[in-house]
Amino acid sequence: MNNFVAIRPFKTFSKVAYYTFWVEGREKSETDAFFSKFENVDSLSIDLDILVAWLSEIGEQRGAKLRYFRNENSAEALPPPRRIMAELSMNKCDLRLYCLRLSEEVVILANGGLKTGQTVRDSPDVWSKFNFANKMAQQILKQLQTGEIRLSGKRILDIEEIELWD
């Protein structure tokens, strides 16, 4: 089975442009689906606020430096690793928002969920989102290497729909 996935602008800040994946035939982008799923879950409101604060902080103040992202195989995730959260006296956050950091100015946001297990594999809510983000990351990183996709500042150039193979 295959799907076509588009990369569309999501939100632009002074230092970072965030993009999102939009799978053909779906009503919402992957990132919009993530926020829609958790925006009215009271028990996760603090976690969601932490993610939103980090998106803004990275976008406006810090830039998308590697240290602010969790390494998730070929992809990354927010919130930042525990050591960064601890440095800033921020609470633990069990939500994960998967993404692909292409540069200090360009990040493609995917979907995510609640990490309930010790590992991603042990967390049913995030496992499929983790796999999707990694498949997309592998394809996009390969296209960057071959020059099929190029970056110019906060813009992704030459991007059309990507065929994602399951």
Residue matched to tokens 């360009």: 106
The span from the CA of 61 to the CA of 46, in Å, is 21
- Its domain, for residue 7, covers 2-165
Return mean pLDDT, the chain. 91
pLDDT tens-digit readout, 138-154:
999 999 999 989 999 99
CB contact set of 143 (below 8 Å; sequence gap of 6+): 149, 162
- pLDDT for residue 13 is more than 60: yes
Using CA atoms, how far apart are residues 131 and 79, in angstroms rounded to an integer? Answer: 18
Q: Given 3-state DSSP classes, what are the helix, strand and coil percentages for the chain, each rounded to the nearest 5?
A: 35, 30, 30
Give the count of domains, the chain. Answer: 1
The three-point CA angle 117-111-81 to 5° equals 55
47 burial via Cβ count (<10 Å: 0-12, 13-18, 19+): buried
Question: Would you state the pLDDT for residue 87?
Answer: 74
Q: What predicted TM-score, i.e. pTM, was given to this entire model? A: 0.93
Higher-pLDDT residue of 17 and 25 is 17
Measured CA to CA in angstroms, residue 50 lies from 74, 134, 146, 151, 160 at distances of 24, 23, 36, 28, 32
- Provide the pairing of β-strand 106-114 with 17-23: parallel
